[in-house]
Structure 1
C-alpha cells in the first residue's frame, strides 16, 4: 500500500505505486503525511488534520477544537504519546486530537523558535528538560545555547543539526560543533551512515568480488571480465582478469565459475561469453581459451558458424550433390559431369562420374540430367 499527498489531494496505490486513485480532497495545501503503527495514517493541510485507520484507504476529519489562531497549520508531528501541531505563533499539543493546548516554552529554555516559514529541523539533544519533549527541543525549534549542541559517537553536527555520521566515515567521539571528529573509513573497509567506531577488517570487511578505497560508503563491484576472491581489497587492481577459458559476464564476481561455452573461445579477461569459433572450425567442449582451440571441421562436414548471432553450430553433414574437405565452412558442389546421392562426401574425387549414356550438365547434381541421343 502506497499513500501520497499532493497540494490538495490524497492518493492511494495498491500495486506498489504503479497506479494511484484519489482517496480524498484536502482543505488547503498538504503540509505533512505521517503514519503511526500498522494502520494509522495522518495527513495535515494548512486548514486541518485528517486521519485514516485503514492504511490510507479512507480519511475523515480528525483534529477537533483547534483554536482559531492555529490556522494556517505549518507543520504536524506524531509522537509516541501525543501529537504536535505547529502554527504561526507557536506549538499545540494533544494526546488524542480532541483538545489542543499551547506548549509554553519557559523563558530559560535553551530552545527558541524558527519563523513559521522555516523548514523543520531535526531534534536537538540538550541538557535542560523542556516540557512535553523528553529533554529535547521540539521539532521546529532552535537551540539558544548552541554550545550545548552535542553529537554522540556515530553522529556529527551539520549546519547546526545533529545527524548520523556521514557514509564512508566514522565518528568515534562525543563532540560539540567546535571539535568534531569525522574520520574516513580505512581502505579495505566500508561504512554505512552512523558508524561510531573505526571499522575493522572483521566488522566491516570489503567483500569478495569488490574493492573499497578509503572513505567508501558502499563496496565497489569488480567489473565484468574480472574477479576477486579475497576480502579487504582496497583498489581496482585487486580485480583479476578472468583466466583464459572462462567468461565472467556479471559484476562483483568472487570466482571464475563459468567455463567458456562450447563452440566459443575465451581469451583472458573475457566478459561476454567469448568469441564464436571461425567458420570452418568447431569445438564441442566448453573451456576453449584461444582460436587454436577451435578444431578444423571434419571431412564430410561443414561448419558455417554464425558469428553475427553468437551461435556456433555443430558440424553439419555435407548434403547430397556436394563435397566437404577438412575445414569446410560451406559445402562445395560436385562439378558438372558428376553427381552424388550420398551425404558426407569429403572430396570432388568421391563425386560419381555421370553414367555412360547419360549426361550431367549442372554442378551439384543428384541425378543425371538426361539420356544421350542415339549416335
Structure 2
C-alpha cells in the first residue's frame, strides 16, 4: 500500500495527499498497526487507492489513546468489499460540530469527507457525538431537521404531541375553539368561557360576539348563532339561554340577531301564540284578526265569512237556508244547503 507501519512509532499526516496506491490485502492508502502509538491525519486527502478491503485506511492503534482525523477526506477509493476505512481501535474525528456525529470504531463505506449530519428526528447538542441517535430523539412540541444542533420549537398556534417530528410541517394547527400562545408545546388549550377561536392555528381567543353564544363541544369552545326567533345583544355569552326569545305576537326570521328590532309584530290576519316564533301563522278559516301583534285570532261571527288569513269579517253573501264556510280562488264564497236539523240564516256556519 501507500504507507504501512507496524509498531514503529506514531504516524502523522499534515497537509498531505496519499493517492494511486494498491494493497493486496487492506490499507490501500495507509495501514497502521501499533499497540503503543497512534496515527494522526490533519487536512489530508486520501484518494484513488485500491485494496481488497479498507482501500483508504486501515487503523489499529493504541487502546488507551484514540487516533485522530481532522479536516481530512477519503474519496474515490476502491475496495473489493466496498469498505473505505477500517478502524479496529478508536479513531476520533475532529471537528464533529453540533448537529454532527461519527462512529469511532468499525467500518466506513464509500466516500468519507467528514462527520455525518444528525438524521431527521434527532438532534446533537454536543460535539464529537458517536452514534446516529446523536443527543437523542426530538422532544414533544419540537421538530428536528437534518443536522439539527437543537430542537426547534413548533410556533405559536400549533402543537406536536409526538416525539421525533422532522420538520415544521409536522407541527399541527390548534383546532377551532382552541389556542396556544406559546411555542414548543405538545398540546393546545380550550378557549376560556365566553371566548372562541374561529380559525385553526390560533395563538389567542376572541370574545364571543353578540348575536350568539360560545360553549364547549368535543373539547373545543365553539360559537353558535342565536336561532331565528331570538336575539342576543350581549358579548361573552356561554349558552343558548343567553338568546332572548321574541315575545308572543311577534316573529323573527333572522339568525344571529343582536337586537329585538328583528322581532316584527304579526300583521293583521296573523298571530304568534307564544315566544320565539320564526314566523307568524295565518288566522285559520273561520277566524280573523284586525290588529297587528296579536297572539290569537277571533272567531268569525254568525252570518259572516272569514277565509284563512282574514283581517276582518266579510258578509257571507249566502241566502237564508244556506251557509258558507270556504272560498273559491276568486274570493267569492260557495254556499251550501243547511244540513237537516240546523237553522241557517245565511251565516258563515250552520
TM-score by length of 1: 0.49
Q: 1:211 to 1:187 in 2, by over 3 A?
A: same
Q: CA RMSD in A?
A: 4.4
1:323 aligns to 2:271 (yes or no): yes
Match of 1:222 among 151, 171, 174: 174
Against the structure 1 CA distance between its residues 230 and 372, is the aligned structure 2 distance closer, same or farther, given a 3 Å change threshold? same
Contact 1:243 1:267 in 2 (8 A): no
Query: Take 2:127 and 2:159, find their aligned partners in 1: how far apart are those partners?
Result: 28
Matches within 5 A, 1:12-161: 106-107=20-21, 128-130=44-46, 136-138=73-75, 144-147=84-87, 150=93, 151-156=96-101
Greater Rg, structure 1 or structure 2?
2
Query: What's the secondary structure of 2:175's corresponding residue?
Result: coil
| 1:318-337, Cα deviation, whole Å (9 max, x unpaired) | 24411124332432222444
How far the C-alpha of 1:287 sits from its partner, in A, is 3.9
> What does the per-residue CA deviation read over 1:34-69, in whole Å, with 9 as the maximum and x for residues that have no partner?
xxxxxxxxxxxxxxxxxxxxxxxxxxxxxxxxxxxx
Extract unaligned runs of 5+ from structure 2. 1-17, 30-40, 49-70, 321-350
Q: Which residue of 1 aligns with 2:155?
A: 207
* Counterpart position of 1:77: none
Q: Does 1:347 align with 2:295?
A: yes
- With over 3 angstroms needed to count, the CA separation of the structure-2 counterparts of 1:371 and 1:211, relative to structure 1, is closer
CA distance in 1, matches of 2:76, 2:213: 64
1:302 to 229, 247, 251: 251
The change in CA–CA distance for 1:180 and 1:188 in structure 2 (over 3 A counts) is: closer
Distance 1:212 1:297 in 2: 46
Identify the structure with the greater strand proportion: 2
Deviations 1:1-48 (A, max 9, x none): xxxxxxxxxxxxxxxxxxxxxxxxxxxxxxxxxxxxxxxxxxxxxxxx
Q: SS of the counterpart of 2:241? A: helix
Which deviates more from structure 2 when the two are superposed, residues 184-193 or residues 250-259? Answer: 184-193
**Aligned partners of 1:286, 1:369: CA distance in 2, in Å?**
50
Question: How far 1:165 sits from its partner (Å)?
Answer: 1.4
Cα deviation, 1:171-197, whole Å, max 9, x if unaligned, reads 2222456x973323455554332122x
* 1:283 corresponds to 2:228: no
TM-score using structure 2 length: 0.52
Structure 1 residue 242, shift from structure 2 partner: 1.9
